[in-house]
Structure 1
Amino acid sequence: MKIKCIAVDDEPLALELLSKFITQTSFLELIGKFSNAIEALGFINQNEVQLIFMDIQMPDLSGMELARILDGKKNSEKTRIIFCTAYHQFAIEGYKVEALDYLLKPYSYEDFLAAATKAYQYFDRVKDSEILTTPRESASSPEYIFLKVEYQLVKVMLKDITHVEAYKDYVKVHLKSKPNPLLSLTSMKNMEELLPSDKFMRVHRSFIVALDHIDSVAKNVIHIGNHQIAVGDMYKDQFLEFLSRWMN
């Protein structure tokens, strides 16, 4: 499945970077790029656009104003928005127009990919179930993520991940189905944000564990298969709270 996208930003360099990120993401298709929201609106009215990556502060018509116009249109749920802006104070307004995500400039490709993955999961659920849900409902229970591994994006099922381990500038994603972990150029912080908090927990500055894959716990050491993972001091309270619920 490819998602039909447009990029909208009045800053030429920001527009080119956004277009580059869209183009290099395998499940996105860039069908237009615009330096103002009025031109973008004209294009949207004449073409099928599923996803808009858009700045907020633009002359004549702002990104937020365009979002409100689209929100009032029939079948507006078929077009979703990811805001890309340098101003964090618009986050609440973005939530009100049901934006899928909110990228704060300057953002990395890893940040962009995490937001794009949310969009992929949203449209995939709409396609499979034929029931249009809100972005918040669809984003709450993802089944997979996309990881940048070498020069490709790899789809990884969440139920296959046993734990994530920090490794220099990379992370090792350990899978139940493979003997060797996937090595991805991203940060533990980004992985922590990408993985659903009801299924994964950070227990150490160097480890995130899949709660369903924990085999046993003894003296603040988690056992997952043949792996032993110590619970760090700053994460003990949160883990003990989970453990108390797990034992009841």
Structure 2
Amino acid sequence: MKIKCIAVDDEPLALELVSKFIRQTSFLELSATFDNGIEALGYLNQNEIQLIFLDIQMPDLSGMELARILDGKQGDNKPKIIFTTAYNQFAIEGYKVDALDYLLKPFSYEEFLKSATKAYQFYEAKSKETSNNQGQQFSEYIFLKVEYQLVKIMLKDIKFVEAYKDYIKVHLVDRTSPLLSLTSLKNMEEMLPSDRFMRVHRSFIIGLDHIDSVVRNTVHIGNTVITVSENYKDGFLDFLNKWIA
């Protein structure tokens, strides 16, 4: 499996080094290089790329701004991002846009390969899901970034997902404390099949199989009571009518 990638950095030497590292990594395929974010964005709008090695501090359009633009796009074909920067204060911001990893300059090929391997493992798992399901849109599990590792979570075990500041809390069956992941509820919603999970509030996604009861505009899952907000009421009522039928 080859991962199609691009490198973006306004420093010529840094761009040359990343390009060299990509070329000597057997499972990476360098499609293009760019010294600014604007040209990279134009290329990404016209070409399907799986991985971006992206500098943060760039004029006109910074790497973080480019990442936010890409993070706002819908669908499963958004490229993953590995940030390359000399400034460690951007680490938290990197995880907010669901970056796969963060390389602090100057970095060695060993460090580069470790990050690239994360991308390979991600796409390998995604490829296996596709082949195993043979046309089904979703697998029976997802991988979620928890601290610095990817954790496999079975869909049937997810009771509900809760927004918590810059994180999400994933509440699971047979687990007293939720898993905490630095991602958005929007990203989580895109990962979950809509026939089994539903957004009922700006801060909550519920597992439909785990609903114990519905009282007026509230959903009861175990000891947790979740309010169905006005913006999501119509969709929930449609589901409820089918459920009752």
TM-score by length of 1: 0.58
Alpha-carbon contact 2:129-2:139 (below 8 Å) kept: no
Unmatched tracts of structure 1, length 5 or more: 24-28, 38-53, 65-80, 87-98
* Partner deviation per Cα, 1:193-230 (whole Å, 9 max, x = no partner): 11111111010111100011111101111111111111
The aligned residue for residue 41 of structure 1 is none
* Partner deviation per Cα, 1:134-169 (whole Å, 9 max, x = no partner): xxx24x122111111112111111111000011111
Question: Does residue 209 of structure 1 match 2:206?
Answer: yes
SS state at 2:235 partner: helix
Change (3 A) 1:239 1:226: same
Deviation at 1:103, TM superposition (A): 3.9
Unmatched tracts of structure 2, length 5 or more: 34-39, 53-65, 67-74, 84-93, 101-118
Matched residue type, 2:212? D
Change (3 A) 1:7 1:121: closer
The aligned residue for residue 198 of structure 1 is 195
Aligned equivalents of 1:144, 1:180: Cα separation in 2: 19
Alpha-carbon contact 1:9-1:55 (below 8 Å) kept: no
1:242 to 229, 236, 239: 239
Question: Does residue 6 of structure 1 match 2:7?
Answer: no
Question: Does residue 223 of structure 1 match 2:220?
Answer: yes
Deviation at 1:171, TM superposition (A): 0.7
The aligned residue for residue 43 of structure 2 is 57
Question: Does residue 32 of structure 1 match 2:8?
Answer: no
Aligned residues: 179
Question: Does residue 101 of structure 1 match 2:77?
Answer: yes
SS state at 2:27 partner: strand
Question: Does residue 233 of structure 1 match 2:230?
Answer: yes
Change (3 A) 1:247 1:194: same
Matched residue type, 2:204? F
Aligned equivalents of 2:82, 2:150: Cα separation in 1: 22
Change (3 A) 1:100 1:213: closer
Change (3 A) 1:211 1:8: same
Aligned equivalents of 1:174, 1:33: Cα separation in 2: 38
Alpha-carbon contact 1:103-1:112 (below 8 Å) kept: no
TM-score by length of 2: 0.59
Deviation at 1:8, TM superposition (A): 3.0
Aligned equivalents of 2:226, 2:26: Cα separation in 1: 43
Matched residue type, 1:203? V
| Deviation >3 Å, runs of 4+ | 10-13, 54-58, 81-84, 102-113, 115-119
Question: Does residue 177 of structure 1 match 2:141?
Answer: no
